[in-house]
Amino acid sequence: MKTFSSFSLFLLSLTFLSLQASQGSTTPSSYKDTQQLLNFKASVSNPTLLSNWLPNQNTCNFAGITCKDSLVSSIDLSFTHLGTNFSLVSTFLLSLDHLETLVLKDINLTGTISFTKCNSFLTTLDLSLNSLSGSLSDISNLGSCSSLNSLNLSNNGLDSSFLKGSPRLNLEVLDLSNNKLSGPTVITWLFQSSCNGMKRLALKGNKLTGEIGPTLATCETLNYLDLSSNNFSVVVPSFGECLALEYLDISANKFFGDISHSLSSCHNLRFLNISSNPFGGSIPVLPVQNLQSLFVADNELHGEIPPWLSTACSNLIQLDLSTNNLSGTVPSGFGACSSLESLDISENKFSGELPIDIFTKMGALKKLFLSFNGFSGVLPDSLSQLVKLETLDLSANNFSGSIPSTLCQGTETNLQELFLQNNLFTGSIPSSLSNCSQLVSLDLSFNNLGGTIPPSLGSLSKLRDMIIWLNKLQGEIPQELMYIQTLENLILDFNELTGTIPSGLSNCTNLNWISLSNNKLGGEIPAWIGQFSKLAILKLSNNSFSGRIPPELGDCKSLIWLDLNTNKLNGTIPPELFKQSGSIAVKYLSQKTYVYIKNDGSKECHGAGNLLEFAGIDHEQLNRISTRNPCNFTRVYEGKLQPTFYHNGSIIFLDISHNMLSGSIPKEIGSTMYLYVLNLGHNNISGVIPQEIGDIRSLNILDLSSNRLEGLIPQSMTALSLLTEIDLSNNYLSGAIPETGQLETFPASSFQNNSGLCGYPLPKCGQDPSSSLNSQHQKSHRRQASLAGSVAMGLLFSLFCIVGLIIVAIETKKRRKKKDASFDGYVDSRSHSGTANVSWKLTGAREALSINLATFEKPLRKLTFADLLEATNGFHNDSLIGSGGFGDVYKAQLKDGSIVAIKKLIHISGQGDREFTAEMETIGKIKHRNLVPLLGYCKVGEERLLVYEYMSYGVVLLELLTGKRPTDSADFGDNNLVGWVKQHAKLKISDVFDPELMKEDPTLEIELLQHLKVACACLDDRPWRRPTMIQVMAMFKEIQAGCGIDSQSTIATEDGGFSAVEMVEMSIKEVPELSSKQ
């Protein structure tokens, strides 16, 4: 009994101690933490994301919470998309007594950085990837966070307006990347007295300008500095005292000057990126003692790779010299780069045979990029010795011979990407490529390879891209490809393949681009293609496929491009083809490099055009594409595809022309709200044109020609405001052509050979056709000037941005730094056909009645909205040259080569319309030599645009100073205005000025000289040296104030200021737009 009592007492004691421990764990501080966290949960938009934050749970077990001594010390709620305002974060989280780290990355945080009561423990605050707004100076509201040393506000919406006070922070780490900061004052404001022990500073992805400032450039504690992707356009500063600097990125700016001198003392640098600046000359001497990553791409460097680089590269892991004008070959000393893992010397002018002996000495080499050079010769078998190689890119060179069969020898092979396209390889594809078991991407396009596709390639179980178009491959597509279930892109166009589409491909359900056009394939199109939910592009044109179009293709949930033209297809157009409209997702098609070759619709060129994968292929090789040769008028567009929507799209390109289809056009086609190109021409389609076709509001090209269509042209088609090309010819249509909308802007040829059709541009209804043949011919001739021609295919890609289907960023490669205007958005290969001739004569289009065109000395051209969209790449920011109270102004090149300025008025309902009419009529009434001529206009829907003759600001200023027009050939002879000023300034600079100005006040010469300096600066041969309009206004204010232009602050150069004569000699350039006016 006594024993039992003792044992009971022992249990009671344990229970009491346990209760004490339990009560002691809930201190007032931890209870306060719990309440504040629960209050925060209650305040967010989506509290269910914090489902385990419950009153009866231990706070330290809450998701994202870390404790010290039962108190909240760290919170990380990244990527939870909670949805809350900064003021609530300040109230409930930043006020936690013992919080040391708060990470709220990408939680959908909004608001401004308001005043915050902060504890003395907080050291790290990360609010990146949110939607914070307000001024940068708001960060001073964090001043109470006395221990804060790391602040990340990157990827928000902070701006640099109204900077005031001081930051009141002593930070070691500050990241303000990718905000809306601009101008020259940000760095000055951040470091008003000193850099305050700053170690890491990131300001990339803003619009900063001006000087870096001596405080930052001499910061002894700084070891990380990222100023990339800004608008700095100054001499690169000296970092002579930044002895701790290990990471420096100044890429994607306009820095110039002596980079060698600027970095001469930075011996601790491990990462250096000076890419995408206008640094010229030979490769500068850089501190490479400790460098591991060096990026010097996309500059204006020339000459050979200097010896010092190969003798000092023992520590380099990454070296990028791409996109320059470097020549010669790879120096033998590069074999000493034993640590080098990635070498990129693509897009230069290197030549000679592949220096394989050098590369095999680089035992660590994983990535080798030699594309777009002039390397030649055969590939040696010793390539197989590069056992660690993961990427080999030899595209766009002159390599010949056969592809080595020894490429992947041995049991351990790491090759993942093999790019050999655009060379001169012959022979067959070696079956031994199947040994490259890690291969993900294989591109052998644009060669002279023959034979068959090796069945052994079916063993490449990780392959995503099989791209072998434009070769001489024969035989059938092997069934063994069925084993590559990772396959996404199968592109075999322009070969001599025969047989049918192998049934084994039905296993490759990840396919999103199937392109088999221009072969000799036949049989029926398999219905099982409809099970490919990721398929976005299906191109089977120019083959011998027969049978019906499978209705199952309508089950492809991502299909946006269907090209079946020029086959032997029969049956009807299945209505099921359009059942996915409004729900199509294209998220699987991303960043594919393409060209689109637009056909002119002649008998030799079937179909609307051809979409081709074009990565790693030189533009100069386009003439090797056989479909381009017979075409009279072709445009080539290049870019990348990037999806911008997921579940509300429709097909955008449908070409089933030149087949034997019959039946009617299904009314379901009206549901394709994003369809841009519809080509049903050259079939046996009958019935009427459905009213629903007018619902395809994005339609740009419509071809229903050479069918058996009858009845009226539906009135609904007048709603197709973006229509730029239409062909209804060779049918049995009747009745009047609708008189409104875009239909009235097309020539008679678009409607010809419809015996019952009448109305403009055909003869009037009820009128004898022969009596008006002459006048209609003249009207038709005038309309040739306004034809959109091949505009629509430009719109097919530029309009993706507007309608939210696919962004196509026309990104012309900067190979060898050639600014080739023919590839600035598109390649225009014009013929001698009449369709290419575009003049500024008044077209036959009917003008808006509200505009009194009689006031104009010269007739205006009425341009289509499509014309202007294409000319400005969809009103892209790269074309923007100014903004005003009533809209933006864009520089553009029209199809006839004319350089114009397009003023796009903002939408202000009636007020904007009145401004449009008033500006047109006012300019029509006023005649003055210094008034920039109005050439044309566009009025469609709510859009109001005015088209002016383009003149650079410097040229206009020269006209005002000299009193001469650029076209005064009687004064200039074979020269032009700029050349004339340059020539006369050398003799006697006062002779340059308008005598009328000098008569009024001879003392004006000094002031005129100052204005001449401004004009010269605006015409500087080096674009990065030209002042912005804000700087120009500042110069004029200095002149008005009577202090002249300070050469150090306004037109400074590396060597100081220049005299007026020197400014003229060194700055004036021969501008193309002037030369063209002679």
**Exposure class string for 775-792: b at 16+ Cβ within 10 A, else e:** ebeebbebbbbbbbbbbb
For 60-65, what is the mean pLDDT?
94
Highest-scoring range by mean pLDDT, 17-26, 245-254, 846-855: 245-254
For the whole prediction, is pTM greater than 0.85? no
Q: How confident is residue 1002, by pLDDT bands cut at 50, 70 and 90?
A: low
Whether 1057 has a pLDDT exceeding 50, the answer reads no
Listed range (666-670, 691-695, 1024-1028) with the worst mean pLDDT:
1024-1028
Angle at which helix 1005-1018 crosses helix 1060-1067, to 10 degrees, equals 20
Cα separation of 579 and 348, whole Å?
49
Greater model confidence, 884 or 833: 884
pLDDT recorded at residue 581? 77
How many distinct helices (H) and strands (E) make up the chain? 21, 56
pLDDT recorded at residue 1061? 36
DSSP state for residue 805 in the 8-state scheme: S
**CA-closest candidate to residue 286, choices 256, 305, 259:** 259
Q: DSSP per residue over 513-579, as a string?
A: EEE--SS--EEEPPGGGGG-TT--EEE--SSEEEEPPPGGGGG-TT--EEE--SSEEEEE--GGGGT
pLDDT recorded at residue 686? 97
**CA-closest candidate to residue 291, choices 237, 246, 335, 334:** 246
**Cβ of 265: how many Cβ atoms within 10 Å?**
15
How distant is the alpha carbon of residue 658 from its chain centre?
A: 35
Whether 781 has a pLDDT exceeding 50, the answer reads no
**Exposure class string for 50-82: b at 16+ Cβ within 10 A, else e:** beebeeeeebbebebbebeebbbbbbbbeebeb
Reading the block at residue 471, the tokens are: 């070769």
Cα separation of 350 and 115, whole Å?
59
How distant is the alpha carbon of residue 66 from its chain centre?
A: 42
Whether 1058 has a pLDDT exceeding 90, the answer reads no
pLDDT recorded at residue 17? 39
Residue 688 CB partners (closer than 8 Å, separation 6+): 664, 709, 710, 711, 712, 714
**Cβ of 850: how many Cβ atoms within 10 Å?**
12
Let me know: does 324 contact 299? Beta carbons within 8 Å.
yes
**Cβ of 898: how many Cβ atoms within 10 Å?**
20
Residue-wise pLDDT for 421-451, tens only, equals: 999 999 999 999 999 999 999 999 999 999 9
Cα separation of 282 and 264, whole Å?
17
Q: How confident is residue 845, by pLDDT bands cut at 50, 70 and 90?
A: very low
Greater model confidence, 4 or 746: 746
Cα separation of 191 and 194, whole Å?
5
Residue 378 CB partners (closer than 8 Å, separation 6+): 399, 400, 401, 402
Whether 4 has a pLDDT exceeding 70, the answer reads no
Reading the block at residue 133, the tokens are: 């707004």
Cα separation of 460 and 432, whole Å?
11
Let me know: does 950 contact 1073? Beta carbons within 8 Å.
yes
Cα separation of 245 and 959, whole Å?
50
Listed range (300-309, 820-829, 1035-1044) with the worst mean pLDDT:
820-829
Whether 281 has a pLDDT exceeding 70, the answer reads yes
Reading the block at residue 1059, the tokens are: 């005299």
Cα separation of 386 and 392, whole Å?
10
904 annotated binding-site participant:
yes
Specify whether domain 846-859+871-949 bears CATH 3.40.630.30: no
**CA-closest candidate to residue 425, choices 453, 404, 455, 454:** 404
Let me know: does 112 contact 90? Beta carbons within 8 Å.
no
Residue-wise pLDDT for 140-180, tens only, equals: 999 889 899 999 999 999 999 888 888 888 899 999 999 99
For 1012-1036, what is the mean pLDDT?
65
Residue-wise pLDDT for 363-376, tens only, equals: 899 999 999 999 99
Residue-wise pLDDT for 906-916, tens only, equals: 654 444 455 55
Let me know: does 905 contact 945? Beta carbons within 8 Å.
yes
Residue-wise pLDDT for 831-843, tens only, equals: 222 222 222 222 2
Listed range (243-252, 401-410, 829-838) with the worst mean pLDDT:
829-838
Let me know: does 112 contact 86? Beta carbons within 8 Å.
yes
Listed range (35-49, 142-156, 205-219, 560-574) with the worst mean pLDDT:
205-219
Rg (CA), the chain: 34
Whether 100 has a pLDDT exceeding 90, the answer reads yes
How many degrees, rounded to 5, is the angle at CA 853 between CA 852 and CA 858? 150
Could you tell me which residues are beta bridge partners of residue 709? 687
For 549-565, what is the mean pLDDT?
94
Reading the block at residue 1044, the tokens are: 């002249």
Reading the block at residue 1020, the tokens are: 């500087």
Residue-wise pLDDT for 741-753, tens only, equals: 778 778 899 999 9
Listed range (58-67, 742-751, 866-875) with the worst mean pLDDT:
866-875
**Cβ of 1029: how many Cβ atoms within 10 Å?**
12
Specify whether domain 953-1075 bears CATH 1.10.510.10: yes
pLDDT recorded at residue 523? 97
Whether 547 has a pLDDT exceeding 80, the answer reads yes
- Provide the H-helix boundaries in 580-675: none
* Domain ranges, ordered by start, for the chain: 571-651+668-767+776-796, 846-859+871-949, 953-1075
Greater model confidence, 781 or 546: 546
Cα separation of 255 and 244, whole Å?
22
DSSP state for residue 584 in the 8-state scheme: B
**Percentage of the chain exceeding pLDDT 90:** 48
Could you tell me which residues are beta bridge partners of residue 162? none
How far, CA to CA in Å, does 281 sit from each of 299, 356, 986?
Answer: 10, 28, 29
Measure CA of the first residue to CA of the last residue in the chain; give whole Å: 124
Q: How confident is residue 695, by pLDDT bands cut at 50, 70 and 90?
A: very high
Cα separation of 824 and 791, whole Å?
15
3-state secondary structure of 756: strand
pLDDT recorded at residue 197? 86
Let me know: does 271 contact 320? Beta carbons within 8 Å.
no
**CA-closest candidate to residue 501, choices 489, 483, 516, 511:** 516
Listed range (198-202, 891-895, 968-972) with the worst mean pLDDT:
968-972
Residue-wise pLDDT for 449-474, tens only, equals: 999 999 999 999 999 999 999 999 99
**CA-closest candidate to residue 525, choices 535, 701, 647, 588:** 535
Q: Which residue has the tokens 């608001």?
A: 111
pLDDT recorded at residue 823? 27
Q: DSSP per residue over 913-950, as a string?
A: HHHHHHHHHHHHH---TTSPPEEEEEEETTEEEEEEE-
Residue 961 CB partners (closer than 8 Å, separation 6+): 992, 993, 994, 997, 1008, 1011, 1012, 1015
**Cβ of 798: how many Cβ atoms within 10 Å?**
27
The mean of the pLDDT values for the chain is: 78
Greater model confidence, 933 or 527: 527
Reading the block at residue 599, the tokens are: 């056909």
Highest-scoring range by mean pLDDT, 193-207, 724-738, 900-914, 1036-1050: 724-738
Cα separation of 655 and 325, whole Å?
42
For 658-673, what is the mean pLDDT?
95
pLDDT recorded at residue 411? 72
**Percentage of the chain exceeding pLDDT 70:** 70
pLDDT recorded at residue 564? 98
pLDDT recorded at residue 900? 83
Q: How confident is residue 1066, by pLDDT bands cut at 50, 70 and 90?
A: very low
Q: What is the 3-state secondary structure (H, E, C) of 479-490?
A: HHHHHCCCCCEE
Greater model confidence, 945 or 701: 701
pLDDT recorded at residue 37? 94
